[in-house]
Amino acid sequence: MKLCWNLTALCNENCVYCFRELLERPLDLEDNLTILKKLKAIGTTSITFAGGEPLLYPGVDILMRECHNLGITANLITNGSLLTKDNLDMYLSNVTKLTFSIDSPNSFINETIGRGAHHYEHIKKLLPYIKEKYPNIILEVNTVVTYDNSEEMDFMFEALGSEISFYGLKKWKISRFCPLRGYAKERKNLLSVPDQVFESIKDNYSNKRAFFQIQVRDLDAVEENVIISPSGNMKKAFNQEEYTIVSDLGTKDTEEIKRLIRKDGGLYV
């Protein structure tokens, strides 16, 4: 089983379309280490650490190291702003796949979206160090398409091709803005991309030839993910609503977790 673990709702960026969990407090590291052992016991093979910004969770490096010890693949989705050339070993030494969130190479658009004007340049400067130290890391970029950047995809494609692909970019995921929860839900009408616009992006990019793979993901893609929320609840989305499959994972034994997943989530048959 593959999971996405949203360790914290905290973030140091302020993206207008963010759908992080605003109401859940993060668990402390000991509780999350207990949950991790239970996730291993129910057959988890891969965990993608995300947030909020996962690097704001004290102990994310320890959780990823423990994944390595348990034989679970650890992946990281980050805005990249807290990575520096001096802390790469702390955060990346146990990461198999590293995904940067980049919505535009344009500093004005990044400022408008809430990422901050220097977002793209910061990641660009880091990439030579990452490639040198971790040449085998799988590098991906996630782009969320909103009303603000829907005209930007050609610029993104060019920037990725000319400035990022050299550093080993494997995949560019273009995802449609999804008003699942949080600010995203409140701002649905302001940020949603009309069907026609997203269909045109899909047509342009689904079969585009590039040095990296391109995947265009519509609203239903969010239903593929099984989420662990900051407070330790296992959730899944269906029809644009999110449901809790198992609450308080840390308090339940593995047989009970398996039974609840079988009953509510259909993950075990």
Contact 94, 68 (CB under 8 A): yes
Q: For residue 2, what are its two tokens?
A: 């593959």
Query: Which one among 7, 8, 40, 51 touches ligand SF4, defined by CB under 6 A?
Result: 51
Confirm or reject binding of residue 20 to ligand SF4 (CB under 6 A). yes
Give me the amino acid identity at 225. Answer: N
Q: Provide the pairing of β-strand 2-6 with 46-50.
A: parallel
Is the CB of residue 24 less than 8 Å from the CB of residue 229? Answer: yes
What number of helices (H) and strands (E) belong to the chain? 10, 10
* Helices 29-41 and 60-70, axial angle in degrees (round to 10): 20
54 and 13 Cβ atoms separated by less than 8 Å: no
Pattern of binders to ligand SF4 over 71-110, x per CB under 6 A? --------x---------------------x---------
Q: Is 220 helix (H, G, I), strand (E, B) or coil?
A: helix
- CB of 258: closest distance to ligand SF4 in angstroms? 30
Q: Is 230 in the site for ligand SF4 (CB under 6 A)?
A: no
Using rule CB under 6 A, residue 18 touches ligand SF4: yes
Nearer to ligand SF4, 237 or 261 (CB): 237
From 15-23, 62-70, 149-157, 250-258, give the range in contact with ligand SF4 by CB under 6 A: 15-23
CA 69 to chain centre: 23
Q: Nearest distance from residue 147's CB to ligand SF4, in Å?
A: 15
Residue 101 to residue 126: CA distance in whole angstroms = 14
Q: From residue 45, how far is each of 39, 227, 239 by CA, in Å?
A: 9, 14, 26
* Minimum CB distance to ligand SF4, residue 230 (Å): 12
- Decide: is 26 part of the binding site for ligand SF4 (CB under 6 A): no
Among 3, 4, 7, 11, binds ligand SF4 (CB under 6 A): 11
Residue 264 in contact with ligand SF4, rule: CB under 6 A: no
Stretch that binds ligand SF4, among 7-15, 32-40, 63-71, 123-131 (CB under 6 A): 7-15
Residues that bind ligand SF4 (CB under 6 A): 11, 13-15, 18, 20, 51-53, 79, 101
